[in-house]
Structures are given as structure tokens and as C-alpha cells.
Structure 1
């Protein structure tokens, strides 16, 4: 049996600091957050043993004209020598640890025991003076970025708590300036429950304010509207006009969802400001609310979510999923209450954030039932709320795509058919579900080929008169797998309408893809399209009510008919927003040149030749 030697990993502290500054933390400025976290946790730990102890955190900056020194002092629980060896010298250990590092709920912010290392990003030495509230000597700990540290017992006894001293290293001066410290302390600690004061050579200042009562009781925010809106503007940077209080059933997560004053894109970042144990951990939290809630910007505070190692994001776990669901339900419930008690308020929100409301309505039929009448849709008679459309028209049509709508909107409007454009996100789904939430609603999907049922057939005499010309026109478009039908329809200004069956649409898509594909893939697509060849015919309807079409078919000028039919065909493709293949583009190009040539060659009314 071979002998095995066991070795211990060696940690390169300089390398760890590089990882912290360049990969784990977003900026060296987080050193201040880590110091605040440790101070708050120390005070919280002491108050668990001494409930009447009044916590405070003091920050002092000195050293004008030379390297600045920052001191942060708390009157928390302090450290014993055993604590120092265990928690300040072991990377990954945490003084807040109890049992499993991730699973145990605590009253503390920090959980990974690496926060103090972030101070090496701005200082070449960390000095800690500490006195444990449990007794024992006062101690000095000095740590350096090479991984060495020393401990010294002090001759004098300090008051319980901890002081951390950092001397600015070259290149980090900006992180010790008064303006940076004031803004960063408030940025991270605006909601911390203990007073934080800053002492500089310019004077003394308390940074954070006493917390308003609605922080602990979000339901009370409604009666403090002006104050809540002012906090939102200061912390989030926008001027809001409305908000929704948030709170989970446990009461351990709460917040304010501010209604954004303007509409936002569906793909916009959901950047919410989240506080864990009242300390800011992220201003870019994207996974704290449901996807549909992109019309709000939130302040959220919690003591139940689990941070990642950077302490800037949350683990995607069952706890976060539950909190996200409850916060989403709080927003949904408030909107439903508005529909009943304050419809004008809800209409104002829908006016700016219809897309968000539609996203929620797609997910929640009950919500859709309550708000559908205020949802705006684009239709053939303009932008209208769905309630207006239902009041004015018994039967509504809708399309599946924007292209379908563009292809038939003019014809449908002329036939007095009200068509809703279902090509925008969520609109098709909502229109198809409308009968489920509104009794008596008659809705029907309208395909481009369906509009032809309103067209007027030619008389028997007209069919005889135009038979030869129609047959010739039909033959011209056989190479495009399109048949020609002569009809009368409105509007008369529209000379032609191109429609596709499902099979011909599939065939056309395959053939367009083949043109841009590699030889191998083109061969595969060719095999797929072979089965659609027989069924894949489109229809070009020519409008005999249109003066140009009427003259073309009555003129008997067969020489111009083939090129005219081809040009009407490509014009109908463009009017319907159909992409054209190479053959059709060639027809368009040659047809334009040919008509220009005919025009230049024709004689003017004086018998001269146009030049």
C-alpha cells in the first residue's frame, strides 16, 4: 500500500486581493460598504446580548496635505484574541457564521468573512483596535497584503467595540475624499438603523436620517405620500407621481414600487435598489420581481434573502422565488384594487405602461377580466381602448402578425371590417382570449385571403368580356406560382391585393431561405418544399373598380399586359410588405426601366417626341 502525504493549500493573499478588486467586487469603493457591514453586525451582535445598548458608528478622516487616514469606530461586541485568529486570519470564515454558511438565517449582513480584505484595495495596511464586550484585554491587530499579521495586547483598556484604521495608498486618494465618503455612506447606509456620523476637517455631520415608520410598516406609506415620493427621488433619482407599497406575508421583505413616470421598453433593464438587513447590496437587482413588472422601480428591503459572495446579488433559490411571487402579487392586488376604487388612477398607469399591463393580463385571466376595457389596441379605425371598440362594434377581427395587418388593413377598413393589429407583443393572445373575459364578445382571426369574401364577383357578361385578358394575365404569373382573379372591391384606389394561403406562405418562406442558404442546406430545403409545390399557390386579386385596371383590361393592348401584370404583382408585394426574391426584384428593376423607356419614346400631344 503506497504512502500518501497530505498538504495544505497555500493562499496567495496578493492574488486574492486582485481577484476581489478585478472580479468579485464592482469597484474599490465597496471597501466602505464592507466596513459599514462589519460595524453594523458588531452592534447588532451586542444588542442581542444587551437589548438596551444604543448602537452608533463614527467615521473620521484626517491627514490633509498627506496620505489620508480613515477611522471607522463602532460600539459593538468587539473581538477576543480567539475571535481575531479565527475570523480575521482565516479567509472564508465569518464571525456571523452559525452552522452551514448559506443555510442559516441570521441577523447579520456579512456572511463570507472576506469583507475586510477589500480594504487592501485602498490601503497597504489594516489596523484594528478592539475590546470585547465579554471582557479580556484590549487588542491591536495589524494585517498586511503579503498575508502576515501581528497581534499586540494594549496596556490601556478601550471601551467595548472596534476601530479600524486605513491609511490611503497611492492612487486611492479619491476614495478618502469628503464628498465621496458622504455620498457613499448615504448610498450604502441610508436605511441603517444606527446613526452614522462623519468627522472631517470641515466639521461633523450625521449622514443617515431616522427611519420613517413606513419602512417597518409599508402599508402606512399611503398616508405619507409626499415623504415616500421624496425618498424615491433622493434614492432612485426620478421624480415619481405614484407608488405601490410592497410586503410579503412574513413581513420580512418589504418595499416601495415606484411607478415610472414614462413608458419603458420591454427589454429595458429592471434595476431595483435592494437593501439586506438595511444595508444596500445592489442597485441593479434584476431578479427580485416578476418579468411583467417592468413598469416600476423599487426600493426593497429584506432580512431573508441570501447574498452571493460579492454581496451585490441574490442566490436564485426557492426563497427568492417565493419572495418574487409575493411581491408580484402585492403589485397585482393593488392594481386590482385601483380598478375598483380608483379607476382614473389605474387608467393613468395603463396610459404610460400598457405593455406591462398586457404582460400581466396574459398571465392572469382574472386581472385581464378587470382591466381589459382600458387596454389600448391599434386597429383599422385608429388607436382605441378595447372597451370603446366593443361598445361601437359587435364583431371584431384580429390578425396574427403585423405583416398580415398591413396586407389587409386598407381593404378591411373599406369593407367596414374593424381589424385589430395582433402583431404587437401580447395583442394576439389577448384578442383570442377576449370571449373568456367579456360575455358576448365576437372575435375572429382574419387572414389576408379571408377578406376576399367581401369582394364582388363579375357579372357573367364581364367574365366573358375579360376572359381572354384574365387568362393571359394568369399565364404571366404562373412562374411566380400565383393565380389571377378579377374582382371589384373597395377601396377603388387599391389596384391589386396579393394573398397567401398557409401552404403558399410556407413555400415562399422556404424558397426565400434557400436563396441565402449554403448549397447543402439549400438542397435540404428543396426537399422540404417539394411537398408544397402543388398546394402552394398564391392569388393576385385585380380590382376592376380601379381606373387603371379597368383601362388595362378594356384597352385590348396585349403588348403592354404582361409587363403591366408583373409590375402590379411586385407592387402588391410591396404594398403587403412581403420580402421579394431575386426573380421578383429583377422584375421590379426591369419593369421600371421599361416603363421609363416607353414614356420617353411616346409622342406628346403635339406629335413630338418626349426627350
Structure 2
């Protein structure tokens, strides 16, 4: 075997910059965030050795168009010549030395050593002047996107800190305009404890306000309610009426969960603003709260989560999972507290965000026990809360699907049955588990065929008078595997009720899928459904209290009876919101044509 030789990777810096601008970062505007982060990291590092130090960031704009320049200056710890070679010239190098951080947990140029490179997205050269607080000469560093840099020791000493100069390259002058820079400085640095000052056109002003006390002590938020709501509107762009303070057990992550003032879709994208060490790291964080907490929009600050390379999201790891669970527990505990001491406030939230509350109640019996009385449901007694329904002291029948509820509500209501619609997400599960939560609660799932137990059978005389017509009606629907039964029930306005036992429903779904599937797959479905056909029958109940049905079955059957029964069958399918097969649609069309023909024949006969 020949001796191996060791080589070093060659890095194409211009290629890396293209990756930064087009793939890693969301926008070139993040260059200002990276500069601001470097500045605040440097100030934090200086505070470690000089606790009384007063940090400050100064930004100055000059020129216009392609001559626009930007200066960002901090009075932080600065860099020595060795620091410059080690940290600015080695991409991806950590700021740790023997386990100790030079500049805190986040290095001067970012944890991944690429933060400063973002400046090449808007400038063809980075000029840095720096003076270390520990002494030594002042340094001028000039970096270029081809991967080269120059270093020069200055004859005069600067005050400790760092200055970064950028000149706009073509088509990036927008990012150097005063309005854009001011918005971005406030956007990223609104919570920084150091003043950020902007000078432009002879004017100088502070950009970020002094952070309020409750920002990092969320337990104080309730005392400053109006201020907290106003702050949420400014930072999140919505007018809120309520909020919930957030805090983890170790106190390293906290925030404010603002209750959205409008209902939101369960699948709506959830996004929150998250500040890492007081710098905005993400405004689209969608994984920092549990899935059920989609009714809040949050401002969250943390110093313990690990950012990704772009520093715009967080790694999905055990630490994030713990933080997510504890923030969710903050929301849950607050809601439970409302149930005990501020029920009106809880009711207001539930009116808008019942779905989120129900999703949490399904997972958490304690929470369900606290708020069940205010959960809204649709029922044959109207839209009521679960507490109001339980106050009726009746068995709560519930349907497992929306179609079943729509099919049965009129009949059940006429029979004075209290039936709750369990067809929406989470509701059947909640109703099924209610007896475990509330002592004495009686809930039972209602199947379509169960409603027929309240129907009145025909007496012997009525059965004898309708026997022949009933048989003819039954024969007309045999090809649909549907039996016809004559009963008397309420409401009288309803001529027919179609019921579909579970096995028949399964077969019906198989056959419908077969109609819409490729031939090979349809044959498989046909074989699967063939084994079920013997026992999978539906039932069409015809209401003899209804004048149409009463007239149809008065006397012996005639030639029009099968067609009219088929029309009642099709009408019952539509009333129950059942998807119709091709054969059933054809039946409906043929029945309508027959009715038209009979009408025309009647008119011609009368001429």
C-alpha cells in the first residue's frame, strides 16, 4: 500500500457567500442583525470583566445610492491581533479556548463563524477597526469576498470597542436607507438593554426604548396589563384583549402568550417571535409551543435554546422539547386557574377558541375536569355548553359523525331525544370520556338504527292493508341492498329515513371507491365487498304519518309505486348527506323524468 498524503480543503469564499445569500439566510437584511449581535456579544463580554460598564451601539449613515455607507460601532471588549487572525480568518471556528468562551456563549461572529460573512451580501468589502479592552495596538482589518484580507496596526489608539464600515454594492442601497435601517434595528434589537443610537443627516436619535420591567419578569405582566397589550400590538401587529405570562422552571425562557382575538383554523401555521439573548432570532418559530396552543401568538425570550446555522430557527432537541412542554404547562395552568377564579374570562376565550380547548381536554383529564362546563356543543336542544346539557338531567346521546347527526337530528328532536353532535374533531372522544370526568354523567353513542326504537309499529289492521304495497316497495330497492319498513314516527313532515349499519356503510364505501378507482384496483375492491353483501343491508323507514307516504300505501300497489319509492329513497340519501353512487344518481334522474312524463300525460288527458 502506498504512503498516503494529507491535503487541506480549499474553500471558495465567493461560493459560500452565494450560499449565504440564496439559501442560508432568509434575506440580505440579516447582515444588520449579525452586526448587532456581534456588538451586543462584545458588550456582554466586557461586562463580565467590568460589571459597571455601560454598553452602547451607535449606527451612522452617510451618502446615498451606490455611495451609501453604514458604520456600526460598539464599546464592547474589542479584539486583539491574535483574536482577529483566529476568529475572523477561520470560518466555522468556535470562540472557545480550553473550554472558556472569549465572548460568551455566542461568539463575536456568531456560533458558526459565518455571521460577519453576511455583510458581503450587501458590500464588496468589510472594514473593521477594533481596539481590545485588554490593551495592545488598535487594528484595521479589511476583508474581501475573494477570501483575502489585510491587517494593519494603527499608529493612534482607539477607545475600546469595534467599528464596522460597509459601502453598498450595486442594487443593495435599499438596505442602507435611513427608514429601512431604523426599522431593522428596532425589529431585531427592540429588547436589548443597551441603547441603539442612529445618526443620519445631522440628526441622532435612540431607536430602542428602555425594556419594561415585566419583559424579563413575566410574573409582573398582570400588574402592567395595558402596557403589555400595547407592546403586543406594536411587536405582533394585532390588537389583543388578553394574554398569558410564560415562564420555564429555570427562568431562562419566558414570554407573553397573547390570546388571538379571532378564531383560527386548526391547520393554520403558527408563528411566534423568539428573542435569543434579547436579540430577535426568529419571527416564524412554529415549534416552540405544543400543537394544541394554536390560539395564542407569542413573544418569547430565551438564553438556553440552540439556534441553527442561519440563527433564524432552533434545533429540535431534548432541550427544545423540555422548553415546549414547560411553556405549554404555563398556558394550561393559567386556564385551570381561570376555571377556579375567573370563569367569565375563561368563557370569553372559549367562545373564540373552543377547538383548542377541546384538543387539550382530550389529552388532559385534570384540565377537562376544570373546564368541561364551558365547552360548547351542537345538540337537538340547540347550541349549548356541556354544563347546560348536563343540567337537563338526561342521557346524552351523541353521534360519531356529522352525517349521522344531520340525518338524525330532526327525528331525534321530534322524539324528545337529547342528541349531541359528536362529529367534529375531538367531540366524540370528549363525550365518550365524560362519565370518567363527571360523576353521574350518562353518555351513549347513538347509531342511526337506534332511533328506530322510538318508532311506532303498525297495528294488525294497518299491516294487512299495506302488506302488498310494502312488498312491492321492498322489491324495488333490493338491488340496492335496502329493506323497506313502514313505521309511524315524528316529525310528520319527514317522509323517509335512511339508516346505514356499520357493515353496510363499509360496503357502501368500498363500492364507491371501486367506481372511482382504476380497473385493476376496482376488481380487488369488488372481491373485498363481495364477501359482505349477504349481511350488509341498509333500511329505509317510510313514515306512514306523512301524507305523501300515507297516500302512496293506501290500497293495492300500482305500476307507479316502485318509481315513487325509489324517489323517496334518493331523497332520503340526500337528506342524510350520503354520497350517491352512479346507479343511485341514474335512479334519481330516471325518477325525475318519470314525474315529468306523468305530469305531461295528465295535462294531455285533461285537454
TM-score range, shorter chain: over 0.9
Residue 338 (1) aligns with residue 338 (2): yes
Work out whether residues 246 and 327 of structure 1, in 8 Å CA contact, stay in contact via their aligned partners in 2.
Answer: yes
Query: What count of residue pairs does the alignment treat as equivalent?
Result: 605
| Displacement after TM superposition at 1:381 (Å) | 2.1
| Cα separation, 1, equivalents of 2:328 and 2:62 | 47
2:454 match: 454
1:271 match: 271
| Cα separation, 1, equivalents of 2:329 and 2:97 | 33
Alignment of structure 1 residues 71-150 onto 2, 5 Å: 71-95=71-95, 99=99, 106=105, 110-150=110-150
Alignment of structure 1 residues 364-383 onto 2, 5 Å: 364-383=364-383
1:16 match: 16
* 3-state secondary structure, aligned to 2:553: helix
| Displacement after TM superposition at 1:556 (Å) | 3.2
1:316 match: 316
Is the alpha carbon distance of 1:430 and 1:494 closer, same or farther for their aligned partners in structure 2, counting shifts above 3 Å?
Answer: same
Residue 199 (1) aligns with residue 202 (2): no
2:260 match: 260
| Cα separation, 2, equivalents of 1:380 and 1:202 | 72
| Displacement after TM superposition at 1:439 (Å) | 1.2
Alignment of structure 1 residues 111-510 onto 2, 5 Å: 111-510=111-510
| Cα separation, 2, equivalents of 1:3 and 1:494 | 93
| Cα separation, 2, equivalents of 1:602 and 1:13 | 90
1:536 match: 536
Deviations 1:434-492 (A, max 9, x none): 11111111111001111000000000111111111111111111100111100001111
Alignment of structure 1 residues 12-91 onto 2, 5 Å: 12-64=12-64, 67-91=67-91
1:584 match: 584
| Displacement after TM superposition at 1:255 (Å) | 0.3
280-289 or 514-523: bigger deviation: 514-523
Work out whether residues 107 and 277 of structure 1, in 8 Å CA contact, stay in contact via their aligned partners in 2.
Answer: no
RMSD in angstroms over aligned alpha carbons? 1.6
Is the alpha carbon distance of 1:75 and 1:394 closer, same or farther for their aligned partners in structure 2, counting shifts above 3 Å?
Answer: same
* 3-state secondary structure, aligned to 1:256: strand
Work out whether residues 66 and 173 of structure 2, in 8 Å CA contact, stay in contact via their aligned partners in 1.
Answer: no
1:608 match: 606
Deviations 1:407-451 (A, max 9, x none): 111111111111111111111111111111111111110011110
| Cα separation, 2, equivalents of 1:506 and 1:487 | 26
| Displacement after TM superposition at 1:525 (Å) | 1.1
| Displacement after TM superposition at 1:330 (Å) | 0.6
Work out whether residues 504 and 536 of structure 1, in 8 Å CA contact, stay in contact via their aligned partners in 2.
Answer: yes
| Displacement after TM superposition at 1:246 (Å) | 0.7
5+ residue gaps in structure 2?
A: none
| Displacement after TM superposition at 1:134 (Å) | 1.4
| Cα separation, 2, equivalents of 1:117 and 1:108 | 14
* 3-state secondary structure, aligned to 1:542: strand
| Cα separation, 2, equivalents of 1:517 and 1:297 | 43
TM-score (norm 1): 0.97
| Displacement after TM superposition at 1:513 (Å) | 0.7
* 3-state secondary structure, aligned to 1:353: helix
| Cα separation, 2, equivalents of 1:96 and 1:413 | 73
* 3-state secondary structure, aligned to 1:78: coil
Work out whether residues 64 and 173 of structure 2, in 8 Å CA contact, stay in contact via their aligned partners in 1.
Answer: no
Work out whether residues 290 and 328 of structure 1, in 8 Å CA contact, stay in contact via their aligned partners in 2.
Answer: yes
Work out whether residues 108 and 277 of structure 1, in 8 Å CA contact, stay in contact via their aligned partners in 2.
Answer: no
Work out whether residues 65 and 173 of structure 2, in 8 Å CA contact, stay in contact via their aligned partners in 1.
Answer: no
Work out whether residues 107 and 303 of structure 1, in 8 Å CA contact, stay in contact via their aligned partners in 2.
Answer: no
| Cα separation, 2, equivalents of 1:247 and 1:111 | 26
| Cα separation, 2, equivalents of 1:492 and 1:96 | 83
Deviations 1:475-530 (A, max 9, x none): 11110011110000111111111111111111111111111111221121122112
Is the alpha carbon distance of 1:368 and 1:31 closer, same or farther for their aligned partners in structure 2, counting shifts above 3 Å?
Answer: same
Is the alpha carbon distance of 1:357 and 1:193 closer, same or farther for their aligned partners in structure 2, counting shifts above 3 Å?
Answer: same
Work out whether residues 45 and 77 of structure 1, in 8 Å CA contact, stay in contact via their aligned partners in 2.
Answer: yes
| Displacement after TM superposition at 1:293 (Å) | 0.7
| Cα separation, 1, equivalents of 2:107 and 2:561 | 84
| Displacement after TM superposition at 1:100 (Å) | 11
Deviations 1:185-229 (A, max 9, x none): 000000011111001115001011111111121101110111111
1:599 match: 599
Deviations 1:536-578 (A, max 9, x none): 1111111100100010011435111011111111111111111
Deviations 1:267-286 (A, max 9, x none): 11111100000000011100
| Cα separation, 1, equivalents of 2:381 and 2:247 | 43
Is the alpha carbon distance of 1:321 and 1:491 closer, same or farther for their aligned partners in structure 2, counting shifts above 3 Å?
Answer: same
Work out whether residues 465 and 555 of structure 2, in 8 Å CA contact, stay in contact via their aligned partners in 1.
Answer: no
Work out whether residues 489 and 545 of structure 2, in 8 Å CA contact, stay in contact via their aligned partners in 1.
Answer: yes
Work out whether residues 39 and 73 of structure 1, in 8 Å CA contact, stay in contact via their aligned partners in 2.
Answer: yes
Work out whether residues 122 and 169 of structure 1, in 8 Å CA contact, stay in contact via their aligned partners in 2.
Answer: yes
| Displacement after TM superposition at 1:66 (Å) | 5.5
| Cα separation, 1, equivalents of 2:336 and 2:487 | 50
TM-score (norm 2): 0.97
| Displacement after TM superposition at 1:594 (Å) | 1.1
| Displacement after TM superposition at 1:301 (Å) | 0.2
Work out whether residues 218 and 246 of structure 2, in 8 Å CA contact, stay in contact via their aligned partners in 1.
Answer: yes
Is the alpha carbon distance of 1:454 and 1:425 closer, same or farther for their aligned partners in structure 2, counting shifts above 3 Å?
Answer: same
